Amino acid sequence: MELKKDSNAVSIDMQLIVHSEKRRAAQGTHSDRQADPGALLQRRGGFQGVANGIRKWQKIEAHDLHGHLAEKQHPQQPQVITAYDNQGTQLTVEVHPRDAVPQLLKKFSLAKSLQGDKNGNTKPRQPGGKDAHAYPWDRSSLKSMPLDLRQFEKLDTYASQVTVKSDLDELVSDLVQEAHSDLERVRAIWIWICHHIEYDIMAAQEKDCQAFKPTDILRTQKTNCDGYAGLFEKMCRIAGVQCMTVPGYSKGFGYQTGQSFSGEFDHAWNAVYLEGRWHLVDSTWGSGLVDKTTSKFTFLYNEFYFLTHPALFIEDHFPDNKNWQLLKPPQSLRQFENSMYHKSEFYNKGMLSAHPETSMIRTVNGKATVTIESCAPTLFMFMLNGKQEHGLLSLRKNGMKLEVYPPTMGTHNLQIFAKGSSDIYSSVLEYTLKCNFVDFGAQLPTELHQPVGPSWFSEQMGIMKPSHPDPIIHTSDGRCSISFGVDEGISILASLHGDDGLITEETQRRYIFQLHREKRTELKVQLPHAGKFALKIFVKKRQEPGNYIFVFNYLLCCTNTKVNWPMFPESFGNWGQDNELLEPLSGVLPANRNIPFKLKLQGIAKALVKGQDTWPLTLNHEGYWEGSCSTAGCQEVYVMVLENANHNFYSYILKYKVNAQ
């Protein structure tokens, strides 16, 4: 090309790319993801060729090599010109201010990580030894590279708010404006897809290929896993980052514990090349979840599937090519099928390990035991066949222990949930239980809720130094006394529950008598008969409105069939927190007897016992109110107090029943 020299001459840098007509035609058959950079420029507009090699030069709104939309030209903006001659030679010329850096060189430096094959198409490097991570997981990080997620806060907010565009190149150009590295470019693309693209269940079931096309995805904002992976790959390549789509098997929607995998692959995800190494992402699972019962998709961002550590990714992703496991040693399909499936929330909520490490458990003497180790104190719950029954779950400082007693022989489903720092319990583990023996002696009360026994959580709720740290209390005579320290301003409520129907909602607190001594609360418990009972403990801050909150329960066990304790006397609202009853403790008194009374009552001017007649109680030198009363001729006996000596109104604090003659 000859340029006429004159006073208005400009500096011209030329990027000359020469292709034969035959080769250029062949390149036109490649998919967009492998398109030749020069061909992309030609297809997106510019200059139309005419005969004799003469060109009509016109201003264009061009796309750069990676799909970025160039701004309309102005005096300081470089001009890109592309043309072909009759022999198929492609000429790309860039005109820019004398001291400016050539834009084409900038674009090629942006794509420095992209290799070219002999035809000029991008060819990502295949994974090798330096990409592999050790298996099993070393617990060091959930990610495959060091990340501080706080560094993405500004970028995440920006990317999630970028509006949908009809043109993919324009969308990527907008997204990467605030990105300053390949990692940030990938992060911006990931965040945008996870917050804007909905999983199309219908398309996934019908395998609608139209749902895979980026233009259709942007239009409908819906797609299936292939569409997610294809869109992510396309956007990364436009941004100048190597990315591959990886097909394979997955333990996703519809997965059944222990199932085998065969036939065509059911999922697709991506590998992205950052800082000299391949990393794994799944934007489908990062965007939300499908409800099993309604088959509806809900946006619920999941950070776990961004640059996931390969030793964790393999738990629910098995690629078609073992090299894409990025593991050393790689896992076999059989290992993938039999390995324990820890859901993403298992790791999101700080779990480290679980035992057993297989998804199927066989009971031993009618019992199955599961333990979980966590990096911080965590609340757990479980469901056996959809019900919170037939198990003892005790919390540990860093984890939990669960003992399950299936009520019938056969196959059972066990789900374990964790709460973490949120207010929502999420499913973290699922086991299949095989039971060939039922221990009927281990049947547990239906009302035995979780957790069982005191723990870090009860301490957090104001209950300290329990007299019984173990969750199970055995009593030979049907009585026990349990005490613990209580924080200032905390009220305690306890109730007893059994399965025989003898303990009703009205009487479930009458088998417990509560005493307070020197910042400790004592619960005296009398069982109505032999058996197993749940003793529930609730707390409430005295100065705050609302209901009592369940904290934990004990399992009380008694095998003595002679046990037949009556209820304690009924107490009323004026029974003070620091009052103490020494006798009589039975809520049912014999008829026609003189019954001694002994109580410690705080802030009382006078006290009396009222039956058929009235008997005053006197205050002794030890601070106890003492006296006696006859039960002759009455059905009920009351303890009454006068709080102010200047008043004459007595309040009821205790009520006893008298046996019929």
Exposed (0-12), middle (13-18) or buried (19+): which is 130, by Cβ within 10 Å? Answer: exposed
Q: Residue 491 gets which letter from DSSP?
A: E
- The whole-number pLDDT of residue 25 equals 37
The pLDDT tens digits of the residues spanning 161-183 come to 999 998 999 999 999 999 999 99
Structural domain includes residue 542: yes
One-letter-per-residue 3-state SS of 413-443: EEEEEECCCCCCCEEEEEEEEEECCCCHHHC
The pLDDT tens digits of the residues spanning 595-606 come to 999 999 888 899
- The whole-number pLDDT of residue 84 equals 46
- The whole-number pLDDT of residue 146 equals 95
Structural domain includes residue 58: no
- The whole-number pLDDT of residue 118 equals 37
Structural domain includes residue 78: no
**β 360-362/426-435 pair status:** parallel
Please give the Cα distance from 199 to 289 (Å, whole number).
Answer: 8
Angle separating helix axes 168-175 and 182-196, nearest 10 degrees: 120
Task: Report which residue type is found at 287.
Answer: S
Residues 6+ positions from 100 with CB-CB distance below 8 Å: 78
The pLDDT tens digits of the residues spanning 24-58 come to 333 333 333 333 333 332 333 322 232 323 222 33
- The whole-number pLDDT of residue 422 equals 76
Specify the residue for token string 């992510």: 232
Specify the residue for token string 């942006």: 110
Exposed (0-12), middle (13-18) or buried (19+): which is 391, by Cβ within 10 Å? Answer: buried
- The whole-number pLDDT of residue 516 equals 80
CB of 158 within 8 A of CB of 178?
yes
The pair of three-digit structure tokens given for residue 75, joined into one six-digit string: 């005096």
Q: Residue 423 gets which letter from DSSP?
A: S
Q: What domain count does the chain have?
A: 4
Degrees, nearest 5: CA angle 539-543-545: 75
Q: Compute how many other C-beta atoms are within 10 angstroms of the C-beta atom of residue 518.
A: 6
Query: Are 390 and 311 members of one domain?
Result: no
Q: Is 267 a catalytic residue?
A: yes
Q: Which of 18-22, 119-123, 124-128, 495-499 comes out lowest in average pLDDT? A: 18-22
Structural domain includes residue 4: no
The pLDDT tens digits of the residues spanning 370-393 come to 999 999 999 999 999 999 999 999
Which of 558, 584, 604 is at the close of a domain?
A: 558
Q: Compute how many other C-beta atoms are within 10 angstroms of the C-beta atom of residue 366.
A: 18
Confidence of residue 94 (pLDDT cuts 50, 70, 90): low
- Report the side by side order of strands in the sheet with 479-486: 463-464, 479-486, 520-526, 512-517
Structural domain includes residue 35: no
Query: Are 152 and 265 members of one domain?
Result: yes
Position 186 pLDDT exceeds 90 = yes
Confidence of residue 635 (pLDDT cuts 50, 70, 90): very high
Beta-bridge partners for 594: 630
91, containing H or E segment: strand 90-95
Residue 288 Cα to chain centre, angstroms: 12
620 or 60, which is more confident: 620
Q: Is 225 a catalytic residue?
A: yes
One-character DSSP codes across 216-277: HHHHHSEE-HHHHHHHHHHHHHHTT--EEEEEEEES-TT--TT----SS--EEEEEEEETTE
Query: Are 481 and 595 members of one domain?
Result: no
Which of 309, 335, 361 is at the close of a domain?
A: 335
Average pLDDT over the chain, rounded to an integer: 82
Please give the Cα distance from 536 to 498 (Å, whole number).
Answer: 11
The pair of three-digit structure tokens given for residue 416, joined into one six-digit string: 């374990």
Query: Are 399 and 258 members of one domain?
Result: no
Residue 439 has φ and ψ, to the nearest 5°, of -90, 95
Structural domain includes residue 28: no
Query: Are 353 and 278 members of one domain?
Result: no
Exposed (0-12), middle (13-18) or buried (19+): which is 225, by Cβ within 10 Å? Answer: buried
The pair of three-digit structure tokens given for residue 36, joined into one six-digit string: 């030749």
- The whole-number pLDDT of residue 209 equals 58
Query: Are 159 and 252 members of one domain?
Result: yes
Give percent above pLDDT 70 in the chain.
80
- The whole-number pLDDT of residue 294 equals 85
Please give the Cα distance from 233 to 193 (Å, whole number).
Answer: 11
- The whole-number pLDDT of residue 656 equals 95
- The whole-number pLDDT of residue 58 equals 31
- The whole-number pLDDT of residue 542 equals 84
Q: Is the peptide bond before 329 cis (omega within 30 degrees of 0)?
A: yes
The pLDDT tens digits of the residues spanning 276-326 come to 999 999 999 999 998 878 889 999 999 999 999 999 999 999 999 999 999
Structural domain includes residue 38: no
Instruction: Kindly name the residue from 96, 196, 267, 342 that is annotated as catalytic.
Output: 267
Instruction: Kindly name the residue from 19, 282, 342, 435 that is annotated as catalytic.
Output: 282
Rounded to the nearest 10°, the torsion over CA 432, 436, 441, 444 is 20
Confidence of residue 207 (pLDDT cuts 50, 70, 90): low
Residue 76 Cα to chain centre, angstroms: 52
The pair of three-digit structure tokens given for residue 290, joined into one six-digit string: 């499908």
Query: Are 394 and 504 members of one domain?
Result: no
CB of 258 within 8 A of CB of 313?
no
Please give the Cα distance from 315 to 135 (Å, whole number).
Answer: 11
- The whole-number pLDDT of residue 85 equals 47
Position 75 pLDDT exceeds 80 = no
CB of 382 within 8 A of CB of 416?
yes
Position 463 pLDDT exceeds 60 = yes
Position 366 pLDDT exceeds 50 = yes
Residues 6+ positions from 352 with CB-CB distance below 8 Å: 139, 373, 374, 375
Q: Which of 5-19, 81-95, 321-335 comes out lowest in average pLDDT? A: 5-19
Q: Which range marks the domain in which residue 620 is found?
A: 570-658
CATH number (domain holding residue 282): 3.10.620.30
- The whole-number pLDDT of residue 26 equals 37
Query: Are 385 and 431 members of one domain?
Result: yes
- The whole-number pLDDT of residue 53 equals 30
Which of 335, 364, 388 is at the close of a domain?
A: 335
Please report how many Cα atoms fall inside a 13 Å half-sphere around the Cα of residue 496, on the Cβ side.
29
One-character DSSP codes across 356-396: S-BSEEE-BTTBEEEEEEESS---EEEEETTBS-SEEEEEE
Outline where 470-525 has alpha helix (H): none
- The whole-number pLDDT of residue 597 equals 96
CATH number (domain holding residue 612): 2.60.40.10
Query: Are 222 and 324 members of one domain?
Result: yes
- The whole-number pLDDT of residue 170 equals 96
- The whole-number pLDDT of residue 52 equals 29
- The whole-number pLDDT of residue 208 equals 60
- The whole-number pLDDT of residue 126 equals 87
The pLDDT tens digits of the residues spanning 103-125 come to 433 333 333 334 443 334 456 78
Structural domain includes residue 55: no
Query: Are 292 and 352 members of one domain?
Result: no
Query: Are 254 and 178 members of one domain?
Result: yes
Task: Report which residue type is found at 63.
Answer: H
Residues 6+ positions from 385 with CB-CB distance below 8 Å: 412, 413
Residue 592 has φ and ψ, to the nearest 5°, of 55, 40
What average pLDDT score do residues 118-133 get?
73
- The whole-number pLDDT of residue 661 equals 63
Instruction: Kindly name the residue from 194, 225, 435, 558 that is annotated as catalytic.
Output: 225
User: Taken in order 648, 651, 652, 654, is the CA torsion positive or negative?
Assistant: negative
Query: Are 596 and 511 members of one domain?
Result: no
Residues 6+ positions from 489 with CB-CB distance below 8 Å: 541, 542, 543
Please give the Cα distance from 529 to 97 (Å, whole number).
Answer: 97
Please give the Cα distance from 76 to 332 (Å, whole number).
Answer: 58
Q: What's the Cα-to-Cα distance from 257 to each of 57, 317, 433, 450, rounded to whole Å?
A: 65, 14, 11, 25
- The whole-number pLDDT of residue 471 equals 96
Q: Is 216 a catalytic residue?
A: no
The pair of three-digit structure tokens given for residue 358, joined into one six-digit string: 């297989």
